[in-house]
Copies of this chain bind each other. A is one copy, B any other.
Amino acid sequence: MNNVTKITVIEDNEAVKDGLALIIGSQQRFRVVNTYTNCMDALKNLRKDAPELVLIDLELPGMHGIEGIKRILRERSSTTILVISVHEDSKLVFEALCAGASGYLTKDTDHIRLLNAIDEVLTGGAPMSSKIASLVVKSFQRNLNSPLSDRETDVLTLLAKGKTYHSIADELFISVETVKTHIRNIYQKLHVTNKTEALKKAVKDKLI
Tell me the A residues contacting B by CB distance below 8 Å: 73-74, 77, 94, 97-98, 100-103, 120, 123-128, 130-131, 133-134, 136-138, 140-142, 144, 159-164, 167, 195-196, 198-200, 203
Contact = CB atoms under 8 A, between A and B. Distances in A.
A88 to B, nearest CB: 12
Given A73-B144, A161-B199, A136 B137 contact: yes
B159 A162 contact: yes
Indicate how many identical chains form the complex.
2
B126 A130 contact: yes
Given A125-B133, A131-B124, A136-B136, A195 B141 contact: no
Nearest to A93: B140
B196 A164 contact: yes
30 contacts: A73-B144, A74-B144, A77-B144, A97-B141, A98-B140, A98-B141, A100-B142, A100-B144, A101-B137, A102-B134, A103-B137, A120-B130, A123-B130, A124-B130, A124-B134, A125-B131, A125-B133, A126-B130, A126-B133, A126-B134, A126-B136, A126-B138, A136-B136, A160-B160, A161-B196, A162-B162, A162-B198, A162-B199, A162-B200, A163-B196
